[in-house]
Chain A
Amino acid sequence: MTLRPQRWAFGAALALLVLFTLFPFYWAMVASFTPDAALFREPSLWPRTIILDHYRALFVERDFLTPIRNSLVVAGTTTVFCLVVGTLAAYALARLDFKGKPAIMAFILAVTMFPQISIVSPLYLLLRSLRLIDTYPGLIMPYMTFAMPLTVWILTGSIRQIPRDLEEAAHVDGASRRQSFTKILLPLAVPSIATTGILTFIYCWNEFLFALSFTLGPERQTVPVAIALFRGQYQVPWGQILAAAVVATAPVAVMVLGFQRRIVQGLTAGAVKG
């Protein structure tokens, strides 16, 4: 597929797609520097004025740091916990032989397909009876329902790709199972674990339904909920919303730029194996 005119058209289409992909961000950024009054009047592709009012309002009046902190705590804790528990489970599923393994894999796969909406209400009642509504544990626990299966699934696929004979050589050399796990497998699995951590963190950070249902006020709301619920006095405060969007997107963009190769590997290791 390498004819000259084809290649040219192909390149053009690709450029168009990339443009299409990046344009909404660009537009949001422009708007975030534009005063509210000018937002819907004769939009132009180039910013006419640059003001920082929206950003200031974001952090000063709306205390946007709080949702950021909440998201960090919830996503971070969930990720770390799932990585620890998930790595052990993945090791068992990838390396050990025991009856019921296919059933477990099927079970995990099945849980990833759960519609979240189907367990929102009982989780709500459960959390309420445990007085965990509007708390950190009250979000971390429900987040396990999707973070744990995801972690186990991707890590199992990744560990399977590490050749078995390295651990066998370690065993013959005299290493116990724990030693071969910590000295041989774990160091080699670190890149996959890191990638899985990134993916899990992203999923937790972006989660909306549970965060919406299980928090009551700005104290514990996460970033997606906070942004979605921005209320203005008279009209939708688009300037601030978009400023918040830019703030929410910037770190993600940096992470993706830095780790794109790893992210691609991690996603495909888990997904295509199934």
Chain B
Amino acid sequence: MARIALEHVDKVYANGFVAARDLSLEAADGELLVLVGPSGSGKSTVLRLMAGLEQVTGGTIRIGERDVTDLPPQKRDIAMVFQNYALYPHMTVRENLGFGLSIRKQPVALINERVRMVASSLGLDAMLDRKPAQLSGGQRQRVALGRAIVREPLAFLFDEPLSNLDAQLRVETRVELSRLHQKLGATMVYVTHDQSEALTLGDRIAVLRDGVLQQVASPMELYSRPANRFVAGFIGSPAMNFIEGTLSAETTGSESGGRFTFKGGDLVLDVRCDSPASSSVVLGVRPQHLEVVGDADGMLRAEVTLVEPMGNEQIVYVSLSGGERLVAVAPPEPPMKQGERVAIRAKRDAVHLFDAKNGVRLSCGGVQPSRD
């Protein structure tokens, strides 16, 4: 096992498209690092750069201590699981699994032994002599996985391996992958566009957008201390609520920052922040941190526009009197109704403020609702 590191990597295509810009990222030895981001964010490109399927236009790539920037994929000793599995259609499962070893001219006995072991650990024994076309989607996925495992590589790369599976299979396989990681202790870099997959699988998560790294951190850190508005809105489901507003001039100053008043629509809050760059800010609060209570008691008056009962909770869509829309997550009882008049209250210290221009999260704390 080895670490994989990208150092100040650029990838610019011939037509000018920038897929990665000054990207520095490391997957530590034995870590499962998830690359997540919307389509076009460059995450697949980064994976392919690590594999050597694409060349960087600037920067260095290391596997272990070795500089592999100019090495072709054959020489990097990493294994990759492709989104469409890329199983060799004219070979049997056995031959697919053993391909990497037979190319490296390993002794036949060794190949057979490893193939047998991996096949049995993945439940593929009965299929060894079939061709990929005769397998189901889930089985093909396991063969793709097995092909990587058999090689005992320095690291594993996964390119959205679950996206072609149906929902239930996806969840099951996700668990298996997690177990696999624990069992092998392997360095894994995993690409997905599904943020919930990222949160459940990753030791650390790297959020990418338009080729630029937004934040690398543990799932909890990303969730509770997102570096900017994009990460805050991308991680967590349902997505964070955002309300635009302004910060008043500093009212008092102190060691831990000044006191300001946030005004956004009907919402007025006192906050204590380090000096913000501008007075235009965006307030963010997760649906899970909004309480829906009966009328009169809370901060904001609102009307319920839609309720999605999820069994263990309700997702409540409300509309404030100023027209702003918020999403809240409420316990399953009492069931809410469309048209109901309610009040919304935010849990203290669960509110974030972001600079409206550059999206950076401001360090703020001690949120107090102003008396309305």
Contacts and interface: CB of A to CB of B under 8 A. Distances in A.
Contact of B103 (A166, A168, A175, A187): A175
Given A187-B90, A188-B90, A170 B53 contact: no
Contacts of B53: 168, 171-172
B73 A172 contact: yes
Contact of B74 (A171, A184, A188): A171
B84 interface: yes
A174 B86 contact: no
Nearest to B157: A172
B238 to A, nearest CB: 34
Given A163-B86, A184-B88, A187-B90, A172 B103 contact: no
| Interface bracket on A | 10 to 19
Interface string B79-100: 1101010101110000000011
A176 interface: yes
A174 B147 CA distance: 12
A169 interface: yes
A173 to B, nearest CB: 4
Interface in A141-182: 163, 165-166, 168-176, 179
A166 B100 CA distance: 13
Nearest to A168: B53
A265 B96 CA distance: 28
Interface in B40-79: 51-53, 72-74, 78-79
A172 B79 contact: yes
Nearest to A165: B86
A2 to B, nearest CB: 33
A97 B88 CA distance: 23
Nearest to B75: A174
Given A176-B74, A184-B88, A187-B90, A168 B82 contact: yes
Interface residues of B, number: 21
A172 B78 contact: yes
Nearest to B82: A165
Interface string A186-218: 011000000000000000000000000000000
Contacts of A165: 82, 84, 86
Nearest to B100: A173
Contacts of B151: 173-174
A166 to B, nearest CB: 5
Given A173-B151, A174-B74, A175-B103, A188 B82 contact: no
Nearest to B104: A174
Contacts of B72: 171
Nearest to A171: B73
B82 to A, nearest CB: 5
B78 A170 contact: no
9 contacts: A169-B88, A172-B80, A173-B79, A173-B103, A174-B74, A174-B100, A174-B151, A184-B88, A188-B89
